[in-house]
Structure 1
Amino acid sequence: MDAHSRQLNQQVFVNFRGEELRCGFVSHLVEALQRHGINVFIDKHERIGEDLTNLFARIEESTIALVIFSRRYTESRWCLDELVKIKERTDQRLLKVIPIFFKVEPITVKQLRGAFGDQFREREWEYRCDKPRTDRWKEALASVSCKIGLTFDKKSNESKFVRIIVKEVNKMLQGNLGDFPLSGGFRDTAFLGSQTSTQESVDLYRESISLVQANSNIANQVAAVSKCFTDIESENHILTTQFAELTERLRSLNSVIEMVEGVVEIPDFLMNPWQMSCSLQPVMASAEMFQY
């Protein structure tokens, strides 16, 4: 079986929030992948309300998963359940995953910030009676978002971005099961003549990929912790500045009060108006004053 035939037999599963992306970005991506002879599965083929077992079976049949994180991704429990299955298969090294951050920052997904995080907490509250499930969602989000991925922002060109994804998928498919890229120099006669050398090279190749991924995960975790430290330090600086400003205002107010007390003498009759003197003049009255 040649490389092209094997590529057709290897499925790419696309995990995404349907309502937000189905008719736009995802449709363009699927078309581009199919145009390059790549077998793609998206959940439009499943009936609404059907058991997740069928979707899990599609994930198990796949070689690569594309997880498209978008602003409304965490609105969908289906997306989150699929993500848990993708994480399980990835941990077992039976599936490769490429996270795609579509108009959301990786740090937003990793730390559940903004609307993305608020929607997740709504799902978490909705399923509060099934804490193991919500914990698996959180673990899957943290794990997959820390992997090497691709980011599409407001300045990105969609056509170019789709081409980049197709290129990365092709590289992964060619590297799967020992199918290295032709340009890598591994397909000459001398190399293919030794089955043992081939298997050893494949094992080394996979191990190197695993190490690169592990290093990337560590780097992402360090970056996240550094970002938290920077945010806290910035907040402390703001609070320190506000405290200094309030202290200075209080000092100025005290100075004004001391100045007024030292210069202006307030008369006693203003301080005790009930002690003010008044002239004691007799009131003259006559009988005529009481006549109507």
Structure 2
Amino acid sequence: MTLTPQSVSSGSDADPRYAKFDERKRKRMESNRQSAKRSRMRKQQRLEELKSETTQLQNQNSICRDKIDSVERKYHSVDAENNVLRAQLAELTERLNSLNELAQFWADTTGFPVDVAEIPDILLEPWQLPCPTQAIAASDMFQF
């Protein structure tokens, strides 16, 4: 018994008309596999890039938080010092007023006039002094 190509293989393998369609199908499937592989590789690369960017942004965020915390600590320190200075100003103003009252009482009692001026406005507003005695270095407090 002789085997013909049709009896050896089944389906379209034996028929030359279908051979080129099978070859096209095989090439298309291989092309699709390669395309899917490239797509997976691009996807993996993009995932790695996004992970790297996330890490960089988290590091930058941490640095910004540290700077903000530092500025807040400096602000609270300056605010507390400012409150102390205001309290001292109020206390010294009260003392000066008391001394002025005593001087006035003494002048009224003894008859000798005491020339004590009221608190000069310039002392109540030291930020308006024409030439401050000590430079205030606040510019470095707000640097990042």
Q: Say yes or no: TM over 0.5.
A: no
More strand by share: 1
The structure with the larger Rg is 2
Q: TM-score, normalised by structure 1?
A: 0.23
